[in-house]
Structure 1
Amino acid sequence: MAGKKVIKSSIIVMLLIIGGKILALVRDALIADKFGATYITDIYNFSLGFVYLLTTISYGLTTTFIPLNSEHIEHSSSRKRNRFVNNIINLSTFFTIIITALLIIFSKQIIYVFGHGFTANVNIYSQAVEIIRIMLLSLVFVTLQSVVTGVLQSHKKFYEPAAMALSSNLVYIVYLVFLTSKYGIKGFAVATVIGFFVQFAINVPRYRKLGYRYKFVMDIKDKDARSMFKLMVPIIISTSVVQLNLFINRSFANNIYFGAVTVLDYSNKINTLAYEVFAIGIAMIVYPTLSELAAKRNILEYKKALVNSINIIMIIMIPAAIAIGVLRHPLVNLIFRRGAFNLTASNLTSSALLFYCPAMIAYGVRDILNKAFYSIKDARTPMVNSFIGIIVNIIINFILVKYMKVSGLTLATTISTIITTVLMMTSLNKKLNGMNMKKIFSGFLKISFSSAIMGIFIYIVNYVCMNEISSFMMGSILSIFISFFAGSIIYFVCLHFTKIEEYEYILKAVRNKIEV
């Protein structure tokens, strides 16, 4: 793919992701408006969280499928390639149906163990079981989508996979606007299943255009299939830490008060907004570069690319974390505070969000480190660190939840994420016999200094807007608007004077794109 085409594709993919995120915010605002922070939203968020926890399997499926299908594209006939794809579709769907059926059968026990707070009231318990049973049906479509998007990405077709969140959020918004009053949360659970189906369906036309046709093939002894499913295990474990930590936190929150799970989830959604738009995209771009350099054994350039990637992530994520921490009240007000989501819920969510913010930086750096380990064919180290992170998170949860409630859970996640990220960086530094930690640390200090100056400015702006303007909504909008534009200028000016190499590289790339 030529350079200009790569730039064009990256921009379109980023726009589709941003579009999906904007619709996600609209969806969450509508959920807050219709259901508030109550046991109803707790049930929905708990059930959705359980489904998302299991979708980490689909990530492992896609990650291991792409390189194998790429080999078939290069070296096999279309007939053999089509057989491989159909075999993976049928095997993975078969096992997913079995797992889904078992989970539906034992859904009462799942709620009792992981959502024990719902069992105090018989009606609430019954409703929770019903909702999770409906939403577990999504897993079949998630599996199908994982293989089909893997096919598209192995052919370097990224637009449809990038548009999945946008399409499913349209389904949710239509339901919330027109059907909530009639069918309630049960109907929304059904709409969620439909949303996952739509995510799968939008990929099918492109899939067929690439020449793939469905046939029933199920060969569990196939060498490629067995190899792929074995490789999935460490990748699934190492990439599931975020969802698993969220699910563990939901289980703790479920026993604090009704609405605690919703407060936890809403604070996390704002916190991960910048991370999911920028950090994940950067990690996707970096992965093939690191893999290519590792394959060529060009260790010097590999280390340079890795360090530059970490610093670029920090250039984005550090100021984003500080800005979201300072502007947490206006952000929560603007996105969620309406209808049944009142001032108390808004303040609780803002407090939880504050302690989540540093985790955003660690998430971004950790993703780059994960890709670095995968590029040198080491899936074991990320897997071990994931286990460490989960154990640390649980221990700190037990300590902090007594004193800080939901905020304690978000702080525990931040601490565990930082610890595992530092451990991974230390391991990678040893594995590579040094990777210029001095440059990373220097970049961290310069970026943090620039971000702190920006933070002081937007704190003053936010204080004036929120205290001098009588309408909390107008004050929130002005605070966010002024802080974003003026704060960005101050931050970039500070970066310019600190002379960070990666910032100068980004500026040069932007100038070149404009000139082209």
Structure 2
Amino acid sequence: MKSTTIILMIITIVSKVIGALRESVLSRLFGTGAEAAAFNLAMTIPVVVFSFISVGITTGFIPTYKRLEDREGYLIADRFTSNLGNIIFILSLFLMIICQIFSKQLTYLFAFDLEPEARELAIPFLQITFLSLIPTAVATVYRGYLNCKGEFIVPAIQGFILNFFILISLFLGKFINIYFLAIGLAFATSVQFIPYIPAVKRKGFIWTKVLNVKEREIKEMLIMALPVILGVSINQLNVMIDKNLASIILQSQGVTIMNYAAKLSEFVNGIVIVSIGTVIYPTLSKIAGRNNIKEFKKTVLESLTSMNILVFPAMTGLMVLTYPIVKLVYEGGNFKPEDTAITVPCLLFYAMGLAGIAMRDTFSKAFYSLKDTKTPMYNSIIMIILNITISALFSIVFKWGLVGLAFGTTVAAYYGAITLFIKLKKKIGKFERTNAFKRENLKMLVSSLVMGLVSFLAYNLALKIIGSSNLSLLIAIVIAGLTYFIMLVVLKVKELHSLLNSFKSKMNKRNK
């Protein structure tokens, strides 16, 4: 499992670097103006709308498929997959039509106080990008299928395809016609799933012409997924409120700034948290299905440790080197130094919440594997209320501006993680070997803090000698990586040896 996770992370890192390049090109070509705001809304709103379907599918499909495969064989499980895919095709078609009709209203939901120029551009952008809902929805079913079959690499490469075509569309939109931004986004989102077709065929999947909404497994999956969908609905309500608050504070510039800051934070989220969560969920579902609670607890703690060995240094690095990172990725062209100054503190507070997001994601996956989707839903409701309250209080009342929104998100993430962990202990009992877990994570945290201090000093020293912020940042990152590795070796962190041995074993098997 760990070797697969490492390979998945490597692929995701490269994909995220290309994604960062995409954001860098966007900021330089369009800055924080109306075009950038419209494009960001065109990327964000379809994802939010579709997340109701995707999370429900992801959460309910994997345990249902695993149970069918174990009890009735892969042919019955594959028939269920075809039926679900066909149902989702019809649902996404209706959803796409509805979204086309209400595109204008959706822009008001997500950014009420937006300049007329940005809104007028966002509406046709949305109508174009909503065309990609159907292929995206159907592909989500088959991504779950591939994950059940232990195939995680093919879904991971979709980011390359997406970012490649979006990069092309940015230049076409800037120098030929602005509508190429939306056309390229819709095309990129649709074709990124093409590699799924040969991938599912290699796994022996044969599509079946079946459409039965009354199938027992479909009903059971829907019952399991409904609390998750409700939780996602509440989460998306929070996204809408955040964007509206951002638009009230700085109009389209506020929406764009928050998006730029969030993208850099999501860089780490996507590489570490999503990668490990993707691999761990089928494993936890399988263990939970066998009712092996002792192994289940052990796997949860191991997953957290595997995340934290990368989350801790990434979080520390983002916090310490926030300014040069934002300057390197975004500043230039239409993205001015004053935009950097606003983005930096937002990223700082987003970065602080990464460990909380990692913990909560792991605990949520644990509950889903136990077929308990209600507890994470209730947790989400309280989180969102807390987030909205703190965000509004600090951004408007205390006049922190956009920083207050990021602060609210971070506080809510840690609250959600802690309360979810307490509820998980009540459900499955006390975790064994927690002392070893605490010791390992403390070593990684100390290593990260030492790394942060060394990288901060290295950056400032290099800046004085060289004078180039970008080159100084690259030097600081290299030194940070070496420092962290040395600290892990000196403190004898077992997780490091476990990861290296697992990766070596995987490579040896491939070479034979």
Task: Give the TM-score, by structure 2 length.
Answer: 0.89
| 2:450 is equivalent to residue 456 of structure 1 | no
Determine the C-alpha separation between the residues in 2 that align with 1:498 and 1:304: 23
195, 200, 204: which one pairs with 1:202? 195
Which residue is equivalent to 1:223? 216
The Cα of 1:423 is off from its aligned counterpart by: 0.6
Q: Which moved more, 1:239-248 or 1:283-292?
A: 239-248
Deviations 1:324-356 (A, max 9, x none): 111111211221112111111122111211111
Where do 1:62-73 residues align within 5 Å? 62-73=58-69
Deviations 1:421-465 (A, max 9, x none): 111111112223222555555444443332222211111122233
Which residue is equivalent to 1:369? 363
- CA gap of 1:465–1:239, structure 2 versus 1, over 3 A, is farther
Which residue is equivalent to 2:125? 131
Determine the C-alpha separation between the residues in 1 that align with 2:264 and 2:194: 28
Determine the C-alpha separation between the residues in 2 that align with 1:511 and 1:211: 29
- Which letter does structure 1 place at the counterpart of 2:48? L
Where do 1:186-197 residues align within 5 Å? 186-197=179-190
| Aligned-residue CA RMSD (Å) | 2.7
Runs of 4+ in 1 over 6 A off after TM superposition: 513-516
The answer to whether the 8 A contact 1:385-1:423 is kept is yes
The Cα of 1:386 is off from its aligned counterpart by: 1.0
The answer to whether the 8 A contact 1:352-1:407 is kept is yes
Deviations 1:305-339 (A, max 9, x none): 32232233222211211111111112112211121
Determine the C-alpha separation between the residues in 2 that align with 1:352 and 1:171: 28
338, 344, 348: which one pairs with 2:338? 344
490, 493, 515: which one pairs with 2:486? 493
SS in 1 for 2:327: helix
The Cα of 1:290 is off from its aligned counterpart by: 3.3
Q: Which moved more, 1:380-389 or 1:427-436?
A: 427-436
The answer to whether the 8 A contact 1:36-1:341 is kept is yes
The Cα of 1:273 is off from its aligned counterpart by: 1.3
263, 273, 278: which one pairs with 1:269? 263
- Which letter does structure 2 place at the counterpart of 1:125? R
Deviations 1:394-416 (A, max 9, x none): 11111111211111111110011
The answer to whether the 8 A contact 2:225-2:373 is kept is no
Determine the C-alpha separation between the residues in 1 that align with 2:143 and 2:108: 35
304, 307, 327: which one pairs with 2:301? 307
Q: Which runs of 5+ in 1 are unaligned?
A: 1-5
Which residue is equivalent to 2:241? 248
| 2:167 is equivalent to residue 164 of structure 1 | no
Deviations 1:283-306 (A, max 9, x none): 233334433443444433333332
SS in 2 for 1:338: coil
- CA gap of 1:434–1:239, structure 2 versus 1, over 3 A, is farther
Q: Which runs of 5+ in 2 are unaligned?
A: none
Determine the C-alpha separation between the residues in 2 that align with 1:147 and 1:513: 28
Determine the C-alpha separation between the residues in 2 that align with 1:302 and 1:20: 31
Which residue is equivalent to 1:90? 86
The answer to whether the 8 A contact 2:3-2:502 is kept is no
| 2:291 is equivalent to residue 294 of structure 1 | no
The Cα of 1:31 is off from its aligned counterpart by: 0.9
Determine the C-alpha separation between the residues in 1 that align with 2:74 and 2:2: 29
SS in 2 for 1:290: helix
The Cα of 1:209 is off from its aligned counterpart by: 4.4
- CA gap of 1:241–1:277, structure 2 versus 1, over 3 A, is farther
The answer to whether the 8 A contact 1:47-1:132 is kept is yes
The Cα of 1:75 is off from its aligned counterpart by: 5.7
Which residue is equivalent to 1:147? 141
The Cα of 1:393 is off from its aligned counterpart by: 0.9
| 2:429 is equivalent to residue 429 of structure 1 | no
Determine the C-alpha separation between the residues in 1 that align with 2:293 and 2:79: 38
38, 42, 45: which one pairs with 2:33? 38
| 2:23 is equivalent to residue 25 of structure 1 | no
Q: Which moved more, 1:413-422 or 1:312-321?
A: 312-321
The answer to whether the 8 A contact 1:325-1:354 is kept is yes
Q: Which moved more, 1:220-229 or 1:355-364?
A: 220-229
The Cα of 1:249 is off from its aligned counterpart by: 1.8
The answer to whether the 8 A contact 2:262-2:350 is kept is yes
The answer to whether the 8 A contact 1:237-1:386 is kept is no
The answer to whether the 8 A contact 1:310-1:440 is kept is no
Which residue is equivalent to 1:115? 111
Determine the C-alpha separation between the residues in 2 that align with 1:98 and 1:78: 30
Deviations 1:106-143 (A, max 9, x none): 2222223331112x53x433222222222222221211
- CA gap of 1:154–1:311, structure 2 versus 1, over 3 A, is closer
| 2:462 is equivalent to residue 465 of structure 1 | yes
Which residue is equivalent to 1:3? none
- Which letter does structure 1 place at the counterpart of 2:486? V
Q: Which moved more, 1:385-394 or 1:448-457?
A: 448-457
The Cα of 1:71 is off from its aligned counterpart by: 4.8
Determine the C-alpha separation between the residues in 2 that align with 1:431 and 1:219: 35
The answer to whether the 8 A contact 2:154-2:196 is kept is yes
Determine the C-alpha separation between the residues in 1 that align with 2:375 and 2:508: 43
Over the matched positions of the two proteins, sequence identity in percent amounts to 26
Determine the C-alpha separation between the residues in 2 that align with 1:69 and 1:506: 29
SS in 2 for 1:434: coil
Determine the C-alpha separation between the residues in 2 that align with 1:450 and 1:83: 50
The Cα of 1:418 is off from its aligned counterpart by: 0.8
Deviations 1:51-84 (A, max 9, x none): 1212322132133223334455556577755543
Determine the C-alpha separation between the residues in 1 that align with 2:234 and 2:312: 21
Q: Which moved more, 1:405-414 or 1:18-27?
A: 18-27
Which residue is equivalent to 1:334? 328
- CA gap of 1:169–1:234, structure 2 versus 1, over 3 A, is same
Determine the C-alpha separation between the residues in 1 that align with 2:400 and 2:345: 10
Task: Give the TM-score, by structure 1 length.
Answer: 0.89
408, 414, 418: which one pairs with 2:410? 414
The Cα of 1:253 is off from its aligned counterpart by: 0.7
- Which letter does structure 2 place at the counterpart of 1:97? L
| 2:166 is equivalent to residue 183 of structure 1 | no
